[in-house]
Amino acid sequence: MITLDTSVWIDHLNNVNEQVSEYPDASEVLIPHVIGEIALGTIRDRRRVLDSLNGLSQLIVANTEEVMTTIERHGLAGSGIGFVDANLIASCLLTQDCLLWTRDRRLAAVADRLGLGVRMH
């Protein structure tokens, strides 16, 4: 399965990223933190979009201890990613066959290093 980070969702919601439609299984799962980040922005059809996102399946969501363990075990300190991104990485690691699609260079570098990265054409 492929999960999208906030940057890819925002592009998709703004009709900038048509590739998401080409990969129907790419938008099936997410973590509530990504929904929260989207909710903090300005989006068209806000209620409909948030209801749709809340209806999607969720990855296994890493708890704080699991995120902290991931940060230490995989050397994420100083990598330039934030805590929500670290939670997304930890959640992908906890979920079998999960890959991460992001437009964030630093997050992509971490995902690639851990074998979670997705490169779309």
When pLDDT is averaged across residues 82-96 and rounded to a whole number, the result is 95
Largest CA distance in the chain: 40
Most confident of 13-17, 42-46, 50-54, 88-92: 88-92
- What are 57-72's pLDDT values in tens digits? 888 899 999 999 999 9
* Structural domains of the chain ordered from first start: 2-113 (3.40.50.1010)
SS (H, E, C) 6-51: HHHHHHHHCCCCCHHHHCHHHHCEECHHHHHHHHCCCCCCHHHHHH
How confident is the model at residue 121, as a pLDDT? 44
